Each structure stands twice: as structure tokens, then as C-alpha cells.
Structure 1
Amino acid sequence: MPAATPEVRTIDESEVADWSRALNTGFLRPPKPHPEAVAERAARFDLTRTRGAFDEGRCVATFRSVPQLLTAVGGAPVRADAVTNVTVSPTHRRRGLLSRMMAADLAEARERGDVVATLIASEYPIYGRYGFGPAAALADWEVDVARAGLDPRWRGPACGGRIDLVDGPDVLKLGPELHDRFRARQHGAIDRDERWWRLATGQETVPGEPWTEPFHAVYRSAAGEVEGLLTYRADDVWGDAKQPLNTATVDDLIAVTPAAERALWHYVCSIDWITRIRTGHRATDDLLPLLLPNPRAARAVTRSDWLWVRILDVVRALEARTYATAGTLVLEIVDAAGRADAAAVGVPPSPSGHWGRAGGSRYRLEAGPDGASCTPTTEAPALTLGAGELAALWLGEESPVRLAALDRLVEHRPGAATTADLLFRTARRPWCPDLF
């Protein structure tokens, strides 16, 4: 007798413990969830956006989404459907459970009017088939302080600013406003809610997980304005000859001016007993290596994809960002994932044959430094590309010329990829410092 197809649906409060067990199983954690964590999730989660797959009453797959604001190129925040807590138990892989949960969630996101969907991919090959593309990479560096060439007698910023150590309650008061200023400048950044700050400062802890208080430092300009925040931890390692071999690991470093960024990196590299710095997740074009007199002292230890984006509304997404130069381009977006999503939840095709707002259509983009106009069109396309490739271009992570060379973009008009490269290019790479 064939096995019954697992039921995919949202969960209720009584199922949070079973859902949490499936989540832990998928992430290879001890299966039994902490009772306080279950209670906290039941109180905090939006259960209308928390899905599970159930086989004979047991949860065997998990999926959740939360509202998010993502900064587009130029600083405008766009509404995002942030996908998280995605697992499928090893007994139920390759049965389409993730596809069913994803389709239902993205259909609801479109109905809400979300412009994009986002996620952090645990594995690279999974999410391209749903129209997501890697849109903001990251890099981690390890700095050998002794080889960096910095002045060991450094006494503080030479620019007139100052660095002060602060405590968690100070960060809780100063951090949110500083971060809002930071993310308005950094495309790829996402918003941080009050709970994020409470967890980062120890005002709230995750049930069942130990809390170790970090160090916090702020940079204030000569005018007294907070322009940067650093959070770091240090280990306690000594060599056989009683020489310090301590590592400082940066949890968070955000700055709204180059002076603040330079000063905070110089500060953490100047702390007595610290011989090595682990930078945490930074942008791939982070200034840190070149801030050091000897950039070779910063060894890249990680470079990888990080934030993935799926465009849900092509018109609003392309109109939300600014562009490096003025130009006009007709784009054909091939979105097989969008058609599959729509079919999976029973949405019929439109009379024009398109599926939803981002379902294999052509768009005329008239763009410039002050904004853009994007309208559906029947004109012949200059470029054809997939939804995932569009996401990478939209946030400034990838070059159309590179995508054409990789056969991931089709150029119908000679020079169109170069035109697109000039339009979509950004002075700095996108960066998302946060996990969600």
C-alpha cells in the first residue's frame, strides 16, 4: 500500500513542540527542544506564517517566514518576505515538501505586496530552482596583529573623535538609531527589531543557550555624535613561554563614516594581549585589509554566498533602486520558478500567458541616478535572464557582462550587456551583516 502524501499546512500552538523537534532534527541538534524555547516560540512566532509537513501526525519538515525591510541600491527600504527555519527530515527528502511550503509562502507574500523574498542558504544548490539568486556575498578575515604594521603606541583616533567602552544597556539605547543610519547607506542590509538588540546585549537570552557578555565600544566624532559601534569577544590563550596568544572575535562592527570604521578597527587591533583578530562576516570589498599598512596580515578565511534574493514584483523592485547612469533597456525575465509556484497553489495564468507579477515577462526599464520607471512591454528584449540572475543584478552583486560570459544571460542586441553593466553597477558591493 503506497504511503500517504504528507500534509503541508500552518501549525497551531499545540504543535510548536513537535515542529521544534523537527527543526532540531533537520539542523542536527539534539532533537528534544528546551521547554522554555517552545513556550517562547509559541508566544513570539506568527503561526500563520509557520508551516510544517505532517506524516501520520509527526512533523517531518519545517518552514517559517517573517516580515523584513531590505535596503535597495540607493538606500530605499523594500518589503521582504524573509524565509527561515527551513528543514526536511532525512526520512522525507525528495518528496517535494519544501516545494509545497515555498510555493504557498511566496504566493502569500505576493498577495501581501512584498517586493522580494530573502533567505540565507545553508546549501548552495537548493534555492535556485525557486527563483532565488545569490545577491550579497560575504568574506571573513583573520588578522595577524603583529604583522599588520599598525603603530603599537596608538593612543586613539587622530581625527578628533574618541572611542568609549559601553555596556549592554547603552548599546540598547544607542544601537538602533545608529543601525538605521547605517542600513540607509548600505544596500543589502536588513532591519533589526527590538528583540535583536535585546539578544545582542544580554537583556534577553535564548532558552537553553549560555550567554557570555561581550565587550562593546562606540566611536564618537569630534562633535560627539555616535558614528560607529563595535562588539567583540576575546578568548584566553597563552603560549608555553607565558606569551599571550589571544584572539578577538568581532561579533558586529557597523559605521556610518570611514573615520569611525578606521578607528574601530585600529582600536581592536591595539588591545593588549590580542595577537589575532577574527573579523566576522564582512562585505567582500571591506576596507579592512587596505586599512592596514601591511594588507597581507589580513588573511581571507571565508568567501561565500550569503544573502539570497527572489524578486516577487519586478516593476516595484526595479523602480525602488537608483542606477549609476541614465539608460533604457528592455529585459525579458524567464521565471520558470514563478510559474511552478503559481501552479502549485492553483493560480491560473493571466490572459497574456504570464504567471503573476514576475512570471516570464518583458519590462522596459528607463533608469538613472535619480530613479527609474519600469513598465511591462511587448518590445523585443535586449537581454533575457532568469529570476535568480535578476536578483543578483538588482542588488549590485553581479555583472551582466560576467553573466553573459557564463551563459546565464542572453544578449540579443550587441552591447546590451555592457549597457546593463553601466546601469546596474554600484560603487560598493552589497552587504548583509546579519543572519536570520
Structure 2
Amino acid sequence: MGNDAQQGPDRGIEIRPITHEELADWDRALALGFMRPHVPPAIEWRRLLFEPGRMLGAFDHDFPGADRPRCVATFRSFDTGLTVPGGERLPVDAITGVTVNSTHRRRGLLSGMMRRDLAAARERGSAAAILIAAEHNIYGRFGFGSAAPLAGWRVDVRRSGGVRAGLPVHEGHRIDFATLEEFSKLGPDLHERWRPTQPGAIGRPDAWWRLRVGEVDLPGFDWKQGFNVFHRTADGTLTGMANYTVDDKWDGAYPDCPLTVRDFIALDRETANALWAFLFSVDWVRHVVAPHLGPGHVLPLLLDDPRGAKPHEESADFTWLRLLDLPAAFAARRYEAPGRLVLDVTDREGWTAGRWALEAAADGTGRITRTDDPADLALDVSRLGSLYLGGGSAAGLADAALLTEHTPGAAVRADTLLRTARAPWNPDGF
């Protein structure tokens, strides 16, 4: 084993970064871990994402009949920026591709890979780590908390009456179909202009855009070209875009087509109104399905009859966050109300454990510093992660016995300090 390797909890199992030549073995282990062995290898996609030291594998040196160690667990991370309240981008460690083969469960392989990666992330200067949890009960023990839920709507166009007439739009605006080339050329800049406006948003690397326009094939990813539309103001400024698909479905001789919104970006309310009005005007469409919107999205309020909208069935927790550097994280975000609160934080790894004074000034700036003052609230770092982006409820956590109030009313004060008018939302899987 080299300097980058470590002995796994089981004798004969080694956790280490993989080499470029081991991508096929890593890909096979990932497919087995996600129970998708029927999916063809995704080596081209893995090569696009490969970054030395950031793809980990657990290798079984005692695998029967194998001529070399067999990869039995996978883990990948990459650096990105997470938009926090106020628009700043917090440097975070994004974790994905986490699997353990069913034959090697409960041997500490996930724990070994996770702790290795989080420790390295802290050394690199990441203030937090994020992931999308496939199972709810796994990641809390590593300090992660659900921080940016996913929500959406399924709208019956006839019952809703469509988008209300008279909503404000840009005078002289226009909406046009865009080619795939235009989408991949102009979309990244539009996304970067939008990103600071949405807490919870993350970056879209070049590979993301290449996958969405069909330039690269990812086996198991059901790519469909769909429709791309751009919104421009009268002077030609690009201020929004939407990507959607329409399924060819009929009820006898009557069209019954669902339109599914896959991507929606608007830099302002007027642009959003115009794009929604367009989507609800598409011929043959009976239902508009928008599965990936932020919690509390105003779409039902834009309709003639909001009862025509039902919550999408896939609404759930989505992006989880693990704080690694409290001073850096809390100085980066902004606050909508001034105040002071003392938090007693527990952390199994010890990285953020201790008593901290969170203070927000009237100008929206804030900081968190160590203190010996009596605690107002006691909570695990996973619960603090749920509150950090402004979408959680400390009062709700208190009612559920998931944090402890030492000072009466402290949970409500925490919500006043940390909650934001715009709920955190991350529209992108990773």
C-alpha cells in the first residue's frame, strides 16, 4: 500500500484513491452497489469526471479466484461553490457515487471512505460538504442534515385555468426556441447569472452541459432532446430559459399530453411569468409537471385556480449539508434580522464541537465565535446543517425533540436569525 492507502476495518480490504486505469473496475463496483449491473459501462463519463485523488475505492485483496484486488465500494467527491443566503459562494466538498457492494456491507467501508474524504476536505479549505442522500438514516451519523428539500407541482391545465392574465412581464419581450448548440453556448452564462440569487444552488460543470445536450452518452441516463426556449427582453438581453419534454399521449381522439419541465431559470419575476405563461399555452398539453422546484414555489398562485395544482409525488429531502468550518460558513452568509444566540454543538468527529456565539448585525453581516457563555440551544452539527441555508425550522426541531432549548424561546430566536425569505433549493443532482 502507498502513502495514500489505508487498511480497511476488515483485514485484507484497502481503501485508497483509484488510478485512471482502474475506472472500469470502479464503474463495475458502482453498478453493483446501485443494483444496476444490467446497465452498460459508463467509462467515457467516468473519464470526464476523473480527478486524481477524488475517486476512492475499497479493494478486497482476498477475493476468491481474482487475479487482482476487487473493487467492492466506491466514493467520489469534487469541489464546487454553494450559494448561501446573500449570494456568496461557499467552497464545499460535493460527495457522490457512494456505494458498498451488498456482499461487503457493515464492515466500516463507508465510514472509512467518508471520514477520509471529509478530513481531506477540511484541509483543502472546504467550509462544508454536501450530498444527495439515497437513504435518510445513513448520513446523519456523519454530521449531515437535510438542508435544501426538493418540491414540485403537477398542474391540471383545464382545472387550473392556466396562468392568470395580466401578470407583469417585460414590455416587448420575446420567447424563441433554441437549438442544442445555443443551449450549450448561452446556457452556462445565464446559469451563472442566476445562481447567486438562489440559496442552495451549485455550479454546473462542463460535463453537466455536455450530458444535457447529448454530446456524451451516460448509460442508464434516459436522455431525450426535448424543447429549449429562451426569453429575451426588448433589447435582446437573455434573462431566462426553460427546457421541457412533451409525451405523445392521447385519450382516444383527444390530446392528453403531459409537459414536463426539466430546467427553468429566470433572472426576474417578469421573465418567470412570461415563461410560465408560454409553458401553459403549449398545444395539446393537459398537465404541466414541474417536479424540480423549490419548496414554497409560487406556481399555484400564478394560476386562475390554484386548486388545479397538486404537490408532485417526488417532493422530499434532497441536498444534505455537513458543516466543517463554522466561522467560515457563518461569515459567508447574510442575515435578515439582527440578534445573538449561543449554541452548544455536538460533533462526533470533534471538528465543530463546542460552544459558539452566533451574532448577526443590522447590516446583515454575521459571525460565529467560540464562547464560554451559557448555551441557549444544544444541537448536533447535523441539525445545525439543516438550519444553515435558512430553510429549516429550529422550532420544529425543538418540537420533535431533535434539539434542546436551554433558554425559553431560543428556537424561535434561531429561526428569526437564520430563516430566509427565499427558501434554499438546488435543482441539480450530482
> What is the deviation of 1:117?
0.2
Q: Check if 1:54 corresponds to 2:69.
A: no
**What SS does structure 2 have at the residue aligned with 1:324?**
coil
Cα RMSD between the aligned structures?
2.1
Quick check: 228-237 or 156-165, which moved more?
A: 156-165
**Which residue number in structure 2 is paired with residue 351 of structure 1?**
none
**Which residue number in structure 2 is paired with residue 346 of structure 1?**
none
Structure 2 unaligned regions, length at least 5: 1-8, 63-68
Distance of 1:317 and 1:91 partners within structure 2: 39
**Which residue number in structure 2 is paired with residue 282 of structure 1?**
293
Pairing partner for 2:311 from 295, 300, 308: 300
Map of 1:403-422 to 2, 5 A cutoff?
A: 403-422=397-416
> What is the deviation of 1:207?
5.7
**What SS does structure 1 have at the residue aligned with 2:251?**
coil
Map of 1:110-149 to 2, 5 A cutoff?
A: 110-149=122-161
Query: Normalising to structure 1: TM-score of the pair?
Result: 0.90
Q: Structure 1: which amino acid aligns with 2:22? A: E
Quick check: 207-216 or 12-21, which moved more?
A: 207-216
> What is the deviation of 1:100?
0.5
**Which residue number in structure 1 is paired with residue 256 of structure 2?**
245
Quick check: 368-377 or 120-129, which moved more?
A: 368-377
> What is the deviation of 1:31?
5.2
Query: Normalising to structure 2: TM-score of the pair?
Result: 0.91
**Which residue number in structure 2 is paired with residue 257 of structure 1?**
268
> What is the deviation of 1:178?
1.4
Map of 1:135-174 to 2, 5 A cutoff?
A: 135-150=147-162, 159-174=171-186
**Which residue number in structure 1 is paired with residue 393 of structure 2?**
399
Distance 1:313 1:172, change over 3 A: same
Q: Structure 1: which amino acid aligns with 2:194? A: F
Distance of 1:312 and 1:221 partners within structure 2: 42
Residue pair 1:188, 1:395 contacting (<8 A) in 2 also: yes
> What is the deviation of 1:228?
1.1
Structure 1 unaligned regions, length at least 5: 339-354
Map of 1:49-128 to 2, 5 A cutoff?
A: 49-55=54-60, 56=62, 57-128=69-140
Q: Check if 1:270 corresponds to 2:281.
A: yes
Structure 1 residue ranges (4+ consecutive) displaced by more than 3 angstroms after TM superposition: 2-5, 151-154, 156-160, 207-211
Q: Structure 2: which amino acid aligns with 1:280? A: P
> What is the deviation of 1:260?
1.2
Residue pair 1:23, 1:85 contacting (<8 A) in 2 also: yes
> What is the deviation of 1:15?
1.7
Distance of 2:163 and 2:316 partners within structure 1: 32
Quick check: 219-228 or 200-209, which moved more?
A: 200-209
Q: Check if 1:364 corresponds to 2:357.
A: yes
Q: Structure 1: which amino acid aligns with 2:427? A: P
**What SS does structure 2 have at the residue aligned with 1:413?**
coil
Distance of 2:210 and 2:51 partners within structure 1: 19
**What SS does structure 2 have at the residue aligned with 1:331?**
strand
> What is the deviation of 1:33?
4.3
